[in-house]
Chain A
């Protein structure tokens, strides 16, 4: 199959050695690349119960056949490891231009094993691999690090780095690239930190060869015009994700005051209209026709973003309706190398604990000055940051408030209130890495569409289909901002590889990917008992707007979950049945 480089770079940091090997094409045929292939590699190579911070844990950077081509929205990189925050499988996705560069350097994947004795940086220039010391960079923010590395090694190096949060093994640490792009969730940055790998640089001077390239670029260009640059995708270009602030407020699913409500009175201070007034430029990831990145400048600072998740979890959920405050908070998180979703959630949780008199963190909803101190304190494990950095689940274990620690399996909620989109509740509960909106996003058809949001009927089927579709999409790799259906996905994949996948076959691969992730988690001891939601969702009714009075009855959730397991061919305990395992050919 074309589109692949058929080469994996395997780096051992303990021995400072490296080797290359062919890509496992038997696995590639069944998992394609990206999320699916990365999880397969980790499942096969990682021993069960490996400590995420031990040298035995691996960090897999996985591209896909579409990476480095003109297929629109194909410029993302999958990063796979075992999560320090949850202990589950963890696959993250980062944009910018690093994914393409790894392909141009000649690799489908870079697998990092072992750990350095001293802080270091890995440099990959085609087939020249060097290990460089990084004592001078250790402790520095991600932005200063990226600047220093580009100054030392040239503007055509693409950079991946961690900030102090990753160095200090924060379970909210992210991996950064292109200054403002992150692989955000599950503490992926601290896996890198545990390996004392401050960053790596890539320069690739080669190319990607595909099947019948002249035919491919002609047809792909037509697809871009007819299928990507359309009304249902161009919101990303015109507005970016900030548009979801007003959409969520209007539908009563905007997290407010730690998910106590679904509408936020001051939402117009942080919506896309507010962002447009402060917009300084637009930026795309590699090969992206949409360009969702908004470079935003305010009195307090500048950032590419804030994205919706940040505006929701670090904005409305913290009671902050001032864009410049959220921009500053976002910039601090990016530089420190922190996941804005988990940091925002934990800050809001601490605000509620403070206001309820359970534990005084000195934080209050809407109090900007104390809020702005949080990212740095968490990253450097200082002051209240030592405890906030533990995340909502651990904080709740220490002080109480479990019912409103908004997390699943130890990963904090993204920006969609499930009581206003009941299928989203199932999506959060069953996502492979903890509460996540990227595996299935029923919000699109429930809250924002015509499907009844306040019932569990049909939601098991909906969530399963969306999970299968996104799983294969993130294995090709395509960004979900191009709402490409399975037919379009099959067409572009076949144009690049010369294969003849059908839409049905791609969905079957998606199902396989979801199941290999599930198998990894089951092996780590996860069962159906972990597929649940915090009690706030079942017990507390929302207060205002389109979702006033709504909560998800526990019996309904249980019924929806049971139906989901049945449709998936899993047992009542959420374990993959033997019959299903045989069929899936994991």
Chain B
């Protein structure tokens, strides 16, 4: 199934420099599977959102979903 990924901030490094990319995922994938597939280390992201809302790692993914991955931040 096709998953659209947005890699925020410095995480575009895990998309070969692209902030937005599409990934061919497997049926039954959860958010955590997508993260491993992209080879993003645990320490390198803070949370993931779908539809403008933070989701848990075990959230299942569906065809055409848009997933945004955010880096950790230390202040604002």
A and B touch in the complex (CB under 8 A): yes
Stretch binding the partner chain, chosen from B30-38, B47-55, B58-66: B47-55
B25 to chain A, nearest CB (A): 21
B16 at interface (Cβ–Cβ under 8 A)?
Answer: no
A372 at interface (Cβ–Cβ under 8 A)?
Answer: no
- A449–B54 alpha-carbon span in the complex (Å): 10
Further pairs besides A231-B43, A251-B47: 8, Cβ < 8 Å: A231-B13, A239-B8, A243-B70, A250-B68, A252-B53, A263-B52, A444-B75, A545-B53
Residues of B close to A437: CB separation below 8 A? 75-76
Q: Which of A243, A437, A438, A482 has the most chain B CB atoms closer than 10 A to its own CB?
A: A243
- A247–B75 alpha-carbon span in the complex (Å): 12
- A448–B13 alpha-carbon span in the complex (Å): 20
A142 at interface (Cβ–Cβ under 8 A)?
Answer: no
Among A239, A252, A415, A449, which residue has its beta carbon within 8 angstroms of that of B46? A449
- A571–B10 alpha-carbon span in the complex (Å): 45
B72 to chain A, nearest CB (A): 4
Among A232, A249, A308, A438, which residue has its beta carbon within 8 angstroms of that of B71? A232
Interchain CB contact under 8 A, B73 and A235: yes
Interchain CB contact under 8 A, B52 and A232: no
Residues of B close to A441: CB separation below 8 A? 74-75
Number of chain B residues whose Cβ lies closer than 8 Å to a Cβ of chain A: 24
Q: How many A residues touch the partner, as a band?
A: 35 or more
* Smallest CB gap from B9: residue in A: A235
Residues of A close to B45: CB separation below 8 A? 231
Interchain CB contact under 8 A, A231 and B54: no
Chain A residues packing against B (C-beta within 8 Å):
231-239, 241, 243-244, 246-247, 249-252, 263, 272, 307-309, 415-416, 437-438, 441, 444, 447-449, 480-483, 545-546
Interchain CB contact under 8 A, A234 and B71: yes
Interchain CB contact under 8 A, A243 and B73: yes
- A248–B43 alpha-carbon span in the complex (Å): 20
Residues of A close to B49: CB separation below 8 A? 250
- A308–B43 alpha-carbon span in the complex (Å): 23
- A138–B47 alpha-carbon span in the complex (Å): 49
Among B47, B52, B53, B73, which residue has its beta carbon within 8 angstroms of that of A244? B73
Interchain CB contact under 8 A, B70 and A448: yes
Residues of B close to A447: CB separation below 8 A? 54
Interchain CB contact under 8 A, B72 and A483: yes
Interchain CB contact under 8 A, A448 and B43: no
- A237–B44 alpha-carbon span in the complex (Å): 15
Contacts A/B (CB < 8 Å), 13 sampled? A233-B74, A235-B72, A238-B12, A243-B8, A244-B76, A246-B70, A247-B70, A249-B52, A250-B52, A250-B68, A416-B76, A438-B75, A444-B74
B11 at interface (Cβ–Cβ under 8 A)?
Answer: yes
Residues of A close to B11: CB separation below 8 A? 231
Among B13, B43, B47, B53, which residue has its beta carbon within 8 angstroms of that of A232? B43
* Smallest CB gap from A309: residue in B: B76
A-B pairs with lowest CB-CB distance, top 6: A234-B10, A483-B74, A308-B76, A235-B9, A231-B44, A232-B72
Interchain CB contact under 8 A, A480 and B75: yes
Interchain CB contact under 8 A, A247 and B73: yes
A444/B73 contact (C-beta < 8 A), A234-B9, A235-B9, A251-B47 known: yes
* Smallest CB gap from B11: residue in A: A231
Residues of A close to B53: CB separation below 8 A? 250, 252, 545-546
B76 to chain A, nearest CB (A): 4
Among B41, B47, B52, which residue has its beta carbon within 8 angstroms of that of A448? B47
Among B10, B52, B75, which residue has its beta carbon within 8 angstroms of that of A231? B10
Residues of B close to A243: CB separation below 8 A? 8-9, 70, 73
Residues of A close to B76: CB separation below 8 A? 241, 244, 307-309, 415-416, 437
- A247–B44 alpha-carbon span in the complex (Å): 15
- A307–B75 alpha-carbon span in the complex (Å): 11
Interchain CB contact under 8 A, B74 and A480: yes
- A251–B44 alpha-carbon span in the complex (Å): 18
- A581–B10 alpha-carbon span in the complex (Å): 45
* Smallest CB gap from B49: residue in A: A250
A235/B71 contact (C-beta < 8 A), A243-B8, A251-B47, A307-B76 known: yes
Interchain CB contact under 8 A, A237 and B10: yes
Q: Which of B41, B52, B73 has the most chain A CB atoms closer than 10 A to its own CB?
A: B73
- A239–B70 alpha-carbon span in the complex (Å): 12
Residues of B close to A545: CB separation below 8 A? 52-53
B28 to chain A, nearest CB (A): 23
Residues of A close to B68: CB separation below 8 A? 246, 250
Interchain CB contact under 8 A, B9 and A238: yes
* Smallest CB gap from B12: residue in A: A238
* Smallest CB gap from A251: residue in B: B54
* Smallest CB gap from A268: residue in B: B52
* Smallest CB gap from A237: residue in B: B10
- A202–B70 alpha-carbon span in the complex (Å): 40
- A416–B73 alpha-carbon span in the complex (Å): 14
Q: Which of B13, B47, B72 has the most chain A CB atoms closer than 10 A to its own CB?
A: B72
A31 to chain B, nearest CB (A): 22
* Smallest CB gap from A480: residue in B: B75
Interchain CB contact under 8 A, B72 and A444: yes
* Smallest CB gap from A415: residue in B: B76
Interchain CB contact under 8 A, A481 and B10: no
Residues of A close to B43: CB separation below 8 A? 231-232
B68 to chain A, nearest CB (A): 8
Interchain CB contact under 8 A, B46 and A448: yes
